[in-house]
């Protein structure tokens, strides 16, 4: 008797769990399906779920007409570039805050986090003016710099939480054994810091990939990444829902793959390290 109750309860929880997962996932599934329909089938009533003529035409059209690869390369360059530059600035900063904390460390961290609360429109015009005057408008270099700066607080913060977990006693021990600062960093600290740096790297690539405020407002054509392409997607001849769906799938595919392998890091980073 007791066993039937638990089995039933288990079944209920499984059903609830899967229902939640499927409901939240459904819009993405629907976009995926639409991307394989012809424009005519996409607007058919009642809508068909699986039994339609699957076609790859939309993907080919998107690639031809919207120059998918050029936008994708921009996305890759911008997200990798801003991440690399960000790590270059953030690693030393997080390092020194984690290992040589002073009275001000906490203030610096709070001040840094508070810049993340800043509404982006608050700095829109000054940054646009700088871009106009320096010729950075619609260049990948410009976006690399801006996205690096926008994500810097979160990178420093994340690295700091990882570095803090490296025990200081190990450094003491290395120093007792006569390791110099250089050796200390190369042989002791670096190997322990690599996982944290890797996680931060993954998260920041995703954040930069998803960014749409600056990429839309600071590009016109040359440097526009995938988010800007999607934001401005339209078709000269009427219906474009399947093509838009195909474009959307192409824009999120890299994120889905990377996100799958970095779920934990993603959660940790987007919650400012509150969830481990």
Shortest Cβ 21–other proteins spacing (Å): 4
Q: List the one residue out of 166, 30, 163 whose CA is nearest residue 95.
A: 163
CB atoms within 10 A of CB 263: 9
Q: How far apart are CA 268 and CA 274, in angstroms?
A: 6
Between 27 and 178, CB nearer to other proteins: 27
Shortest Cβ 97–other proteins spacing (Å): 7
Answer yes or no: are the C-beta atoms of 265 and 204 closer than 8 Å.
no
Shortest Cβ 220–other proteins spacing (Å): 13
Between 25 and 54, CB nearer to other proteins: 25
Distances (CA, A) of 53 to 44, 87, 272: 13, 47, 45
Report the half-sphere exposure of 139 (CA within 13 A, side-chain side).
Answer: 11
Shortest Cβ 116–other proteins spacing (Å): 9
Window 9-28: residues binding other proteins (CB under 8 A)? 10, 13-14, 16-18, 20-22, 24-25, 27-28
* 246 lies in the site for other proteins, by CB under 8 A: no
Between 31 and 38, CB nearer to other proteins: 31
Window 65-104: residues binding other proteins (CB under 8 A)? 89-90, 92-93, 95-97, 99-100, 102
- Of 1, 2, 5, 110, the one binding other proteins by CB under 8 A: 110
Q: List the one residue out of 250, 260, 249 whose CA is nearest residue 32.
A: 249
The residue count of the chain comes to: 276
Q: Which two tokens stand for residue 151?
A: 């994500």
Window 172-231: residues binding other proteins (CB under 8 A)? 206, 209-213, 216-217, 226-227, 230-231
Answer yes or no: are the C-beta atoms of 128 and 166 closer than 8 Å.
no
Kindly tell me the burial class for residue 162, based on how many C-beta atoms sit within 10 Å of its own C-beta (0-12, 13-18, 19 or more). buried
Q: Please enumerate in sequence order all residues whose Cβ is within 8 A of that of 43, keeping only pairs 6 or more positions apart, or say none.
A: 239, 241
Shortest Cβ 79–other proteins spacing (Å): 11
Between 82 and 140, CB nearer to other proteins: 82
Window 142-171: residues binding other proteins (CB under 8 A)? 146, 148-150, 152-153, 156, 160-161, 164
Could you give the angle at the alpha carbon of 197 between the alpha carbons of 110 and 153, nearest 5°? Answer: 25
- Of 56, 60, 120, 190, the one binding other proteins by CB under 8 A: 120
Q: How far apart are CA 75 and CA 140, in angstroms?
A: 9
Site string for other proteins, 29-68 (x = CB under 8 A): -xx--x-------xx-xxx---------------------
Shortest Cβ 183–other proteins spacing (Å): 16
How many residues contact other proteins, by CB under 8 A?
Answer: 95
């Amino acid at each position: 008797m007791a066993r039937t109750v638990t089995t039933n309860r288990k079944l209920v929880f499984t059903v609830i769990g899967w229902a939640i997962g499927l409901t939240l996932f459904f819009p993405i599934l629907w976009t995926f399906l639409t991307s394989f329909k012809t424009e005519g089938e996409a607007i058919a009533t009642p809508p068909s779920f699986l039994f339609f003529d699957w076609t790859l035409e939309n993907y080919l059209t998107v690639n031809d007409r919207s120059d998918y690869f050029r936008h994708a390369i921009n996305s890759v360059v911008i997200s990798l570039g801003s991440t690399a530059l960000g790590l270059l600035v953030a690693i030393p900063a997080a390092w020194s805050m984690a290992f040589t904390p002073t009275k001000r460390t906490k203030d610096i961290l709070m001040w840094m986090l508070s810049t993340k609360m800043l509404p982006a429109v608050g700095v829109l015009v000054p940054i646009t003016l700088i871009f106009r005057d320096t010729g950075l408008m619609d260049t990948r270099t410009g976006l690399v710099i801006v996205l690096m700066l926008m994500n810097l607080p979160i990178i420093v913060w994340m690295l700091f939480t990882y570095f803090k977990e490296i025990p200081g006693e190990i450094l003491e021990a290395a120093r007792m054994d006569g390791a110099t600062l250089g050796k200390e960093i190369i042989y002791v600290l670096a190997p322990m810091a690599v996982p944290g740096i890797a996680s931060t790297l993954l998260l920041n690539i995703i954040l930069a990939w998803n960014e749409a405020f600056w990429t839309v407002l600071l590009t016109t054509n040359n440097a526009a990444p995938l988010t800007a392409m999607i934001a401005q997607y339209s078709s000269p001849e009427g219906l474009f829902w399947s093509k838009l769906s195909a474009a959307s799938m192409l824009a999120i595919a890299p994120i889905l793959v990377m996100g799958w392998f970095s779920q934990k890091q993603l959660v940790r980073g987007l919650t400012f390290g509150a969830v481990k």
